[in-house]
Amino acid sequence: MNITELNTRKRELGLTNQQIAALSGVPLSTIQKVLSGTTSAPRRNTLEAIELALAAEEVRRRELTGLREPADMRDSIPYIEYVA
């Protein structure tokens, strides 16, 4: 995912930067810099941590709403592709 896609996903899930920081383990200041575009070349592992946090939150919400059975959730976590 690129930065635009991450921001779109963040808005769709209604998450704050602080919530993403807590879910991803990435410092809030780094989340703010990456998602605002201040950091021109964020580290791959930072982008992956953010993307995984967003995917995990989506899975958690689906499980809570019963849209899919928890055993089926393994297939809903997207493959991470780094886009430079």
CATH number for 39: 1.10.260
CA distance 33 to 48: 15
Other CB atoms within 10 A of residue 20 CB: 24
pLDDT of 21 strictly over 50 = yes
Contact 50, 24 (CB under 8 A): yes
Q: How confident is the model at residue 70, as a pLDDT?
A: 47
- Examine residue 58 and state whether it is found in any structural domain, yes or no: yes
- Examine residue 24 and state whether it is found in any structural domain, yes or no: yes
- Examine residue 44 and state whether it is found in any structural domain, yes or no: yes
pLDDT of 75 strictly over 70 = no
What's the pTM?
A: 0.74
